[in-house]
Amino acid sequence: DGGITQSPKYLFRKEGQNVTLSCEQNLNHDAMYWYRQDPGQGLRLIYYSQIVNDFQKGDIAEGYSVSREKKESFPLTVTSAQKNPTAFYLCASSIGQGVDGETQYFGPGTRLLVL
């Protein structure tokens, strides 16, 4: 089955700890995205990548880092600099960023909680 997987489903972070959220896709999509969803707010873009070895900051990149070493994988690290990390994190992918490849498909998400 083709799709996007995220792990873990739930993640607990201690104060001062860095944690990494996994996102993998086997859809052969070029573009990948990380969003954060908080109650009562729309999804907000953290980082995105249009192609391997390239990524760009989104609207709320502070306290986060990413890498894109493989087309299939786009892990997100929540660093200790992110002071309010509790949220639902969603990874998405699309064929590309051009008009034809515009539909985004989402993974099942990771809930991050701070202990």
Give me the sign of the Cα torsion angle 47, 30, 41, 114.
negative
Strand stretches in 1-115, DSSP E: 4-7, 10-13, 19-25, 31-37, 44-51, 54-57, 64-66, 76-78, 87-94, 105-106, 110-114
84 binds other proteins, rule: CB under 8 A = no
Place of tokens 């109650």: 39
CA distance 72 to 22: 11
Q: Which residues between 41 and 60 bind other proteins (CB under 8 A)? A: 41-45, 50, 56
Letters for 61-80 (x = contact with other proteins by CB under 8 A, - = none) are --------------------
> Least distance (Å) from other proteins to the CB of residue 98?
8
30 binds other proteins, rule: CB under 8 A = no
CB-wise, 63 or 109, nearer to other proteins? 109
Interface residues toward other proteins, by CB under 8 A: 33, 35, 40-45, 50, 56, 88, 90, 97-99, 102-109, 111
